[in-house]
Structure 1
Amino acid sequence: MFVLVGAAAALLLQSVLGTVFFAVTVAYLLWPIRRGLVARGLSHRAASGVATLGAFLMAVLVFVPLAVVVYLRFESFVALIGLLPAELHLDVFGFQYAVTLEALTSVVVDVVERSARRAAAAAPVLVLKATLFVFLVYSLLSYGEDAQQAVTALVPPGYHDAAAALNRRTRETLFAIYVLQAATALGTFVLAVPVFFALGYDSVVTLATVSAVLQFVPVVGPSVLLAGLAAYHVAVGELLRAVLVFFVGGLVIALLPDVLIRPRLARETADIPGSLYFVGFFGGVLTLGPIGVVAGPLVVGLFVESAALLSSELHPADRGSAAGGVSEPDGNDGDDATEDDHDTVDGEDTGDGDDREDGEDTGDGDDREDGENTDDHDTVDSDRF
């Protein structure tokens, strides 16, 4: 019944499943922050609100550099457009094509208008999804304990350790994914600066900043900037420069950070082999689109952890091999009785005329049984031995 209800809910809410998924992943990352704020004296609601607000501001700050660059360099961009020739002649395989700037402008304007109409039509949906995202993150942080208890109740008692291991792996993998995204953007900036400088551009820092910010845009990335630069060079007749920007820039700026930085840091931060992370990242992007940036590596991480748990369950000897090498201390351990001028046989201690068996101690003509002591010279509690 639970599975059927869950499947029905997923079918009805399929349009917002991506939003719900991202909200859950962000709440996973913010949970330690919320717990730390509660430990400092804030209430659960206040701590959840502060953590949610901080995450929202961080997401906005990511795109602030792009907005600043567009604002400061808008006049330069317009000036570059003015340098385009009125008519462009292209020779391809012996065929000549003539493209006028007016025709190209009309095409660009038409594309921009259609994109603007689509954005305006999708704006209400985007606002609703953003609102849902914020409320979901806040709710998950506010009632995290209840959600955890509800999920744990569905797990059989014998598999609580496995569930805890998967939960730990999920948290580590999500943290690595989002940290890797920021590290990849920083690496893109570092790689883009010398490339744009070598290609002879004046606004090196500006182009490198735009490339780094576009690294946060799934699927597209810095490729859209490089394609635009290549198209501009083709329009002004600089074919060699266009080829260099598109291929060299695409290799170093767009592809190299994803091939080198992501897998290497994934192995260091999330304990995921670089090849598996590479498969999860690109496989998730190609299969699920933008949501695959997070879902792909997460599935790979959970698969690795599940394989480790299954291996430890099928081969318990390997799991306890480390414990098997621990040597016992010299002499008798805590479970053995200490011999001091006595002979111990089968739990009976006889010595100095005393007989003790099964908790009974007789000596000096006195009898003691079941913890009773009839002589001031007899011991009261055998635990002190």
Structure 2
Amino acid sequence: MALTRRQQVLGGLFVGTAILTLVILSRVVGTVFFAITVAYVLYPVRRGLVARGVHRRIAAAAATTVGFLFVALIVGPIVYALYGRQALLLSFLRSIPAEQPITVFGMSFVIDVSALIVRARAAVVDLGFDIAGAAPVLALKAFLFVFLVYGLLLRPGSVHQAALRLVPGEYHDVVLALHRCVRDTLYALYVLQAATALGTFTVAYVVFSLLGYDSAFTLSVFSGLLQFIPVLGPSILIAAVAVGQALAGEVTAALLVASTGLVLIGFLPDALIRPRLASLTTGMPASLYFVGFTGGTLSLGVVGVIAGPLVVALLVEVVELVTDERTTVQQTFDEAAALADGDRPGGRNGRLSDDLAADGAADPSGDDRSEESPGDPATDD
């Protein structure tokens, strides 16, 4: 079913308005994007509450509260680690000697790292000032985030119906396939990664506390956050801590934190948590996820952490749809050729041809309108 002239005009108006909105609201595009993706993940919570008789407004508010607490649980420790523990980070940087003697094959060298230490201290101080200065903007963005999530969860069926009405019925299966891809990818990125990050934080806090680190909480927070970086993960932090202690002359402590940290913090949470939540993943290879994460982060900043892997997953899904479509078309041609070669009156192929002709006569348009059924649970409210 082709789009009518009116539908084409409305579709063009929607695209133009969306582009204009992106240009004008460019400073809050990241907040809007995160709100949409979080609402995607929270929709089953809202739907479950409505199914149990909770009013849709209360259900949307409850699901929004869950999302806000989730974001606060991630952002709060970061702000505390970077701003509240700023003095501790500065004291650690001051404890590193400015000159580091290195012996290689019996030859001794002295490396001056004072410039690097000064830069690191300046970066920590500047970051603290940036966080303090951006507090009003962050509060406004937090309010916008909550407002958007609540609005999307209040009437989620409106978005679903609008998307299907702008697309011809014969392409509804493509829209729904992309919807499932987005849903599964976001679940993998948010739920799976968050669960693994929480487990990493718990294990890291125990390990760093037992090893006697005063900044165990801060190091544990960064260990959990680094779980969002594929392949490398918290191993980056473990290596940095080990190198820092080696530069401070504590070689035994550096070897101890490297050996225990890489196994217990870098490997153990992945080995225990990810297999139990593997059903939430889209099956995307780690290499593609790494490409999406790296490219998205370098291109879009923080938004790219989610947008990069999501775009790569959508690309893989579209490639699979194209491959399946070509396979289906080829099978149709092969079946038609077989029918033409083996068509005999009264035979099996003859009856099959008659059945196909009867089906075509019964439904000449071939449109499948089942996706527009009013009983679709995804179009509630």
**Which structure 1 segments of 5+ residues have no match?**
321-335, 337-385
Verify: 1:202 aligned to 2:212, yes or no: yes
Give the structure with the larger strand fraction.
Answer: 1
Counterpart-to-counterpart distance in 2, 1:143 and 1:190: 37
Counterpart-to-counterpart distance in 1, 2:153 and 2:328: 37
Verify: 1:118 aligned to 2:130, yes or no: yes
Q: What is the Cα deviation at residue 50 of structure 1? A: 0.9
TM-score, length-scaled by structure 2: 0.63
- Report the aligned-residue RMSD: 4.7
Partner SS state of residue 281, structure 1: helix
Q: Paired residue for 2:324?
A: 312
Verify: 1:142 aligned to 2:142, yes or no: no
Counterpart-to-counterpart distance in 1, 2:206 and 2:325: 51
**Which structure 2 segments of 5+ residues have no match?**
1-11, 103-107, 333-350, 352-381
For residue 288 of structure 1, the aligned residue among 300, 304, 309 is: 300
Counterpart-to-counterpart distance in 1, 2:114 and 2:317: 57
Post-superposition CA distance 1:147-192 (Å, at most 9, x none): 2222222112221111111111211111111122124325645875
Verify: 1:20 aligned to 2:20, yes or no: no
Q: Paired residue for 1:61?
A: 73
Contact 2:186/2:310 (CA < 8 Å) preserved in 1?
yes
Contact 2:64/2:150 (CA < 8 Å) preserved in 1?
yes
Counterpart-to-counterpart distance in 2, 1:170 and 1:246: 38
Counterpart-to-counterpart distance in 2, 1:95 and 1:84: 18
Post-superposition CA distance 1:348-383 (Å, at most 9, x none): xxxxxxxxxxxxxxxxxxxxxxxxxxxxxxxxxxxx
Verify: 1:227 aligned to 2:249, yes or no: no
**Number of residue pairs aligned between Structure 1 and Structure 2:** 311
For residue 161 of structure 1, the aligned residue among 163, 173, 191 is: 173
Counterpart-to-counterpart distance in 1, 2:158 and 2:325: 30
Contact 2:60/2:150 (CA < 8 Å) preserved in 1?
yes
Alignment of 1:28-39 (within 5 A): 28-39=40-51
TM-score, length-scaled by structure 1: 0.63
Post-superposition CA distance 1:194-218 (Å, at most 9, x none): 9869xx8235994673354333677
Counterpart-to-counterpart distance in 1, 2:317 and 2:75: 34
Q: What is the Cα deviation at residue 60 of structure 1? A: 2.5
Post-superposition CA distance 1:290-330 (Å, at most 9, x none): 2222112211221222122222222226889xxxxxxxxxx
Change (3 A) 1:89 1:115: same
Q: Paired residue for 1:40?
A: 52
Partner SS state of residue 315, structure 1: helix
Counterpart-to-counterpart distance in 2, 1:301 and 1:277: 8
Contact 1:263/1:278 (CA < 8 Å) preserved in 2?
no
Counterpart-to-counterpart distance in 2, 1:148 and 1:96: 61
- Taking only the aligned residue pairs, the percentage that are identical comes to 42
Post-superposition CA distance 1:53-80 (Å, at most 9, x none): 121123323467789999xx98x969x8
Question: Larger Rg: 1 or 2?
Answer: 1
Change (3 A) 1:303 1:211: same
Change (3 A) 1:221 1:294: same
